[in-house]
Structure 1
């Protein structure tokens, strides 16, 4: 019988993975809902805090909303490294408690400066969804990682879809500040569930000792990791590039101007709904045929689907194409995470997955910026066609970078 220090990661990590996945799924959903529910009423809250004038309200609303994602992009690799060193559960406890406190404090803001500062703090203190991804990726048996990460990804995307809907319903019932306090209370329940229900096996002493050795330079093959970082960025770029122009684009397709905002919301929701429905299925498929194959296929299909979106003549055509594109994109994040997990030793998984999260946040910020810039200067069709070209080039780059998964490492091997 081998000693604990000589066990492979799959031997000592997957004992509680099913229950942990369930808790992480619910916890990620609730925290993402809390982060996104302010979208419908953020300008109203900014106005309540003393900002006047349409331009100023729009500017401060954008700053307040983007502050969280900017901060989260900066600290994601740090939290990933700390998760490798001190445990993934501890990072989830930190994130859920921090989010519960900050979300409640946002409901007590007195001016817009406090709102922006608290939104920054939410980005620094949060990271429950990304922490859940690290926990699930490192605890799930490798043969089931695609399905498990796809299931978790569905919950995260569902939170992004449901959050704004709840944010449109609650403020008229309990007020804006009450909505933030309720969100903080729900996240506190997530904190309790995380603390009491998630189990993490003690990590071998040698695995903990080897975490800080080598860093990025210690990776045996950096090419697949770089390819996955770029793929995560491209995913968010493709999803978000249409955001600044969607209302204007839909206005050309809908005769009744009163229906423009409604149709725009459906268009944006269609891609998210497609991804929710396909993520776990594509993850399961990837476990069977290979994660690289699904990534290349998803990038190619989504790139091709962007071309007809530039030439639609009716809103229903755009909605259908965005839904199909969402079905294709749903498999990307689970497969990207699986490839990274299979390409690094256990002691570096959190850190590299943190870099992946940062890359996705960069795409989430860059997508709307580039989409607005290209749409305003060249034309709205150029946004779809340009994004299509990027996705196809991304598929080619992934194909050239594909490699066989790294074999299972033991802590003894990783110290050599």
Structure 2
């Protein structure tokens, strides 16, 4: 088997497990915060948003830093550092005695993460250009599926073994990722004697900087949409359910429905993207997602919410692969790794802002306003993509008509 294919399989597994580990805590976060001594419902909503989202804003800050380190020492060392670090830190969360310790550990988790960043850079630089879109699309599917299937696992483990065991199991999964990476990832890295370019220098090398920026914005919005409801979905499910039994499990099912749909739809949307262009898939996905978020306001049962979350997964399955394909096509190979690092940073910031936005709006205005706000932002993003990307590309998806100064 070719090296890049084997590395892709390992990175897919590692990214999948990493995102499961980072996201399966979501449905149990409000319950765990209550267990740590916070009982006021409004404080639970607000602290849940902060505790969940703080990891991702710190990750967004450190992603370019770890990307720089990867350029100096290689991608495999970054994969090993991130996996063993998360194994230790997440396990310690199960031993927290109060919310302050929990939040501190969530911050530390954000500092040492970077597995997905290193995976994307490794695959982007090792894969032949003709296969790069497919490879990056596969890797994006692992990230999305892991982040959305994680809540189902977290909810199920809470029902079966209790809240603390979820953290210990997640730490065990990350330890498995560490050994898998150590044994099977192969990288012949040769450190370059050339000066590492500054962010300003990299930006000046981009042929279409404004288009790249819009893709970053779309990555940000994708994650914001997914995670705006995540910190308070347990509360929303409890409002919809007549019984208080199995709330964590049902909350996990609501989020994981989107992940299941993404796994089903992603390959077909990838083929469709090759035929009609990734920019058109992005546009339709953003519009569809915006409308589905509005519909979630009017559900009367948890089952109806789960159905709409499933449809949301279909609508957005092609977003991340389309973004990565466009980034790859318009980015010079010499700076591909750094640009993907910034794009993943946008994902992390979107996750933080989504969880913080959801928690704040829910605590001050009500949960239904979270859906209205998210829908409006997605539809505005769709308008931006239509005006600045779709209109700029011809029917053959050529980039010759784009000018860096006019995108």
Coarse TM-score class (shorter-chain normalised)? 0.7 to 0.9
Of 92-101 and 139-148, more deviation after overlay is shown by 139-148
- Root mean square deviation, CA, Å: 3.6
C-alpha separation between the residues in 1 aligned to 2:360 and 2:116? 30
Q: Residue 330 of structure 2 corresponds to which residue in structure 1?
A: 343
Structure 1: tracts of 5 or more residues without a match: 1-13, 408-416
C-alpha separation between the residues in 1 aligned to 2:88 and 2:367? 41
The equivalences for 1:6-405 within 5 A come to: 15-39=2-26, 41-42=28-29, 51-55=36-40, 62-109=49-96, 112-170=99-157, 180-202=167-189, 205=192, 209=194, 211-212=196-197, 214-243=201-230, 246=233, 256-258=242-244, 261=247, 264-312=251-299, 316-372=303-359, 374=361, 382-402=369-389
CA deviations on 1:238-264 (whole Å, 9 max, x unpaired) are 22233466566667766x344794655
Change (3 A) 1:268 1:42: closer
C-alpha separation between the residues in 2 aligned to 1:180 and 1:240? 20
Q: Is the CA contact 1:147–1:287 (under 8 Å) kept in the aligned structure 2?
A: no
C-alpha separation between the residues in 1 aligned to 2:161 and 2:245? 28
Change (3 A) 1:196 1:111: same
TM normalised by structure 2 equals: 0.80
CA deviations on 1:24-63 (whole Å, 9 max, x unpaired) are 1111122222323444555666577xx5341377666554
C-alpha separation between the residues in 2 aligned to 1:123 and 1:177? 20
Q: What's the secondary structure of 1:209's corresponding residue?
A: coil
TM normalised by structure 1 equals: 0.78
Q: Is the CA contact 2:37–2:98 (under 8 Å) kept in the aligned structure 1?
A: no
Change (3 A) 1:172 1:375: closer
Shift of 1:108: 5.0
C-alpha separation between the residues in 2 aligned to 1:78 and 1:85? 11
Change (3 A) 1:311 1:116: closer
Shift of 1:201: 4.1
Shift of 1:141: 3.1
Equivalences, count: 389
Structure 2: tracts of 5 or more residues without a match: 401-407
Q: Is the CA contact 1:154–1:277 (under 8 Å) kept in the aligned structure 2?
A: no
C-alpha separation between the residues in 2 aligned to 1:39 and 1:375? 16
C-alpha separation between the residues in 2 aligned to 1:57 and 1:245? 9
Shift of 1:69: 1.7
The higher radius of gyration belongs to: 1
Shift of 1:122: 1.5
C-alpha separation between the residues in 1 aligned to 2:105 and 2:235? 32
